[in-house]
Structure 1
């Protein structure tokens, strides 16, 4: 039976602050949007107490855990909560709504604050995310932006967003450019759970009466999986196709992947990811072009000999309306050229 001091996940917006008392590692993997992390156990302490609980004695583990948690809560009261008014009402959660959140909730209530515990903890929030991903994607009409690698699809989406269109930018959420060379240096991808949290947040911000522009993606963006229902909806939706000239695509990619030009060693290592699809001789040839900074030739060869063939196979087989797509031809993928394209697309399709 739920305690009278416990709140449902749907009530979380009624609180002044949502406090996540899990360890920093748990918080980094995923958390309720807007939550603040005040861990009552560090990453190392959580492992220590958990190991002791399983391998030695639950009683001894609880004593050690209680002492560590009490010290940490005292620190937060003294340094973080001391200025909070009497009517402050925080919502507190841990993994399942157990001892960690219960301890902080109890102490804050003893002071006089109306602290409440989240019934079911983070797990109840995670269930809500999974449930929404199995229903929300069906509520929207999508317009899928297709085009060969280097057609500036992501930049066009960015411009559409600035023009007021509804845009679901999966690659930005995934911190990845979608292709085998799409890792962004020094920018790790989020966890799958965090990716899904951000997807739900984006979908919930949209108006169901307006079209949502989204880039054609495969099932995986880097290491992350696009949820099945969302991918199914995208694949059955109308498409538009960006047809850019080879020169325009090469110039765009040299600009878009400028970090590889600054750090060619990163690109040389990444070329090895293609070893399942190309001969060792071809990979060595591409690495040599990178070492010699022959960027236009390298980019053109990668497009002609790798990306374009992959693209033709994936779009034709996965996006049922690809052949009926409205075509947008361009020889200019500069900022000005992209702006012109985005305005034309929005004019043609914002009521789709």
Structure 2
């Protein structure tokens, strides 16, 4: 027999065996509680229609029209997704504020006999919880920061370290961007800011704070994503800095592999290079764009390193890392796949 009670708080999310997001698909896509499945009681078009009726006519008219739409959607969800759930199924349902949308689904699920509950305050309560908890979680981290010039395979080394059992915070992976002006992932949009922060919160909760957490030196922005200022400050104040030192030849070889996809769209790559005009001048950028159009990536990446990324890296060191003189250096003889795995091990040995 179902046990009914009032709405439950964010702290009880883990007590349920299912999370249902009753909001519209666009709201769900912007951000949602990790693990939640979207079963909208109103789709985007229906929600807009009901909202317009509410503003232009009356609350009763909006509820009258909305009730029929909700009933039809609930019936479809029941038939497609809920019909075979066991009596022990305990879903937690939320909408934007913990109001009518999730309330109607909870009432309907309880009528079937399931112990469905409503999240108090809805998604807004979860979002407020994330914003409040992020600074506390960040403050507890012992960050070991991996530094190095462009092309030293820092992200790949971090990924190899994770495979070797280290706790790794891959900010570029969470942001779906490599961090530079050329860093957009092919065919993959970045998450929303809220989605990034939810993913960051979820990752931080997993860490054992008695052990180091390895991450990469990052600026305050990764593509369109803003890294929380508390994390940027904590990262730059770290006394555990490890610099990867590799030759220009090894770095160029790695960049040509890691960014090979840019050569697949030469016109698009040329357009991206136009973003460097203000910093490098029209003449230099025109040469780079010509190389991009020709597919001459070796000369292009060599100049990008020498004229843009390396000087930028040197300028940022003293400005961003107060403990830079205390860094430890790991030398990379090669940045091949096997070399990256070996480097990951050397970093872990160096930190101890």
Query: For 1:271, which of 270, 273, 290 is the aligned residue?
Result: 273
Q: What do residues 144-197 of structure 1 show as CA deviations (whole Å, max 9, x unaligned)?
A: 000011110001101111110010000001000001111112100000111011
Q: Write the distance in 2 (CA, Å) between the matches of 1:323 and 1:24.
A: 50
Q: Which residue of 1 aligns with 2:300?
A: 298
The Cα shift of 1:119 comes to 0.5
Over aligned residues, Cα RMSD in angstroms?
Answer: 1.2
Q: Which residue of 1 aligns with 2:289?
A: 287
1:244 aligns with 2:246: yes
Q: Write the distance in 1 (CA, Å) between the matches of 2:11 and 2:155.
A: 34
- Give unmatched runs, 5+ long, in structure 1: none
Q: Write the distance in 1 (CA, Å) between the matches of 2:73 and 2:317.
A: 54
After superposition, where does 1:306-345 map in structure 2 within 5 Å? 306-345=308-347
TM-score (structure 1 length as normaliser) = 0.96
DSSP 3-state at the match of 1:135: helix
The Cα shift of 1:61 comes to 1.6
Q: Which residue of 2 aligns with 1:117?
A: 118
Q: Which residue of 2 aligns with 1:67?
A: 68
Q: Which residue of 1 aligns with 2:263?
A: 261
Q: Write the distance in 2 (CA, Å) between the matches of 1:157 and 1:41.
A: 42
After superposition, where does 1:194-205 map in structure 2 within 5 Å? 194-205=195-206
Q: What do residues 101-136 of structure 1 show as CA deviations (whole Å, max 9, x unaligned)?
A: 010001111121111110000011001100111210
After superposition, where does 1:1-352 map in structure 2 within 5 Å? 4-237=5-238, 238-350=240-352
DSSP 3-state at the match of 2:278: coil
Q: Write the distance in 2 (CA, Å) between the matches of 1:37 and 1:152.
A: 37
The Cα shift of 1:52 comes to 2.2
Q: Write the distance in 2 (CA, Å) between the matches of 1:187 and 1:105.
A: 35
TM-score (structure 2 length as normaliser) = 0.96
**How many equivalent residue pairs?**
348
The Cα shift of 1:279 comes to 1.2
Q: Write the distance in 2 (CA, Å) between the matches of 1:61 and 1:313.
A: 59
Indicate conservation of the 8 Å contact 1:247/1:331, yes or no. no
Q: Write the distance in 1 (CA, Å) between the matches of 2:19 and 2:274.
A: 45
